[in-house]
Amino acid sequence: MTLKWPAQYPDRIQLYSLGTPNGQKVAIALEEMALPYEAHRVNIMAGDQFTDEFVAINPNSKIPAIVDPNGPAGKPLSVFESGAILLYLAEKSGQYLPTDPAVRNECLQWLFFQVGGVGPMFGQFGHFYAYAKEKVPYGIERYQTEVKRLLGVLEARLQGQDYLVQEGYTIADMATFPWVGALDWGYNAVEALQLKQDFPNVMS
């Protein structure tokens, strides 16, 4: 597909990504749906995402992105934005996206809750808490408060059920799982956020 990331299996979905939470959720979906794919590492620290080759796939220069050589009508299709990719893959495979209109809408609400809330706020918290060169108490407190609020929403939603949609496992769970995990392996914030004490449903 590209010179920088040549495809050994051009008939498979080409995934351009890295092991970030957003990157993980697309890889999880591809694995769960058993869709053949080929993964390419985009080194964001080296600026790979700003190369002309990658911008041609995602004009926003963010990972993840995919190219499906067998898109609609058999034509290649590029898809960027992790939520859009999950929705595309679910529709392509016919899996993990409810068909009942009301339940489907419920799934999409929680998917967009992750994309619009959990991802951005957890990411900002991680930046100020774990990665910023200077400790900025205001930034840490602001985003820690919002992360705990969002976790509270998830905690209440998961009371008495295993998944965000009561009917079962969906792309909404695939989207949310890596970001919750990042609070531990990415930011080492389990104790700071009292995750196990205050959010047992989320952490179970």
Query: What are 65-79's pLDDT values in tens digits?
Result: 999 999 999 999 999
Instruction: Specify the number of domains making up the chain.
Output: 2
With respect to residue 4, please indicate whether it lies within any of the assigned structural domains.
no
Closest residue by Cα to residue 43 from 78, 16, 15, 66: 16
With respect to residue 6, please indicate whether it lies within any of the assigned structural domains.
no
Do residues 79 and 106 both lie within one domain? no
Per-residue pLDDT at 64 exceeds 80:
yes
Say if strands 13-17 and 37-41 run parallel, antiparallel, or are unpaired. parallel
Do residues 106 and 197 both lie within one domain? yes
| DSSP assignment string, 1-21 | --SSS--SSTTSEEEEE-SSH
Parent domain of 41 = 13-93
Per-residue tokens: 200: 């047992």
Final residue in a domain of this structure, among 93, 114, 143: 93
CATH of the domain at 35: 3.40.30.10
Query: What are 106-140's pLDDT values in tens digits?
Result: 999 999 999 999 999 999 999 999 999 999 999 99
Do residues 126 and 175 both lie within one domain? yes
- Whether the bond between 64 and the residue before it is cis, its omega within 30 degrees of 0, is yes
Do residues 107 and 89 both lie within one domain? no
Per-residue pLDDT at 168 exceeds 80:
yes
pTM equals 0.95
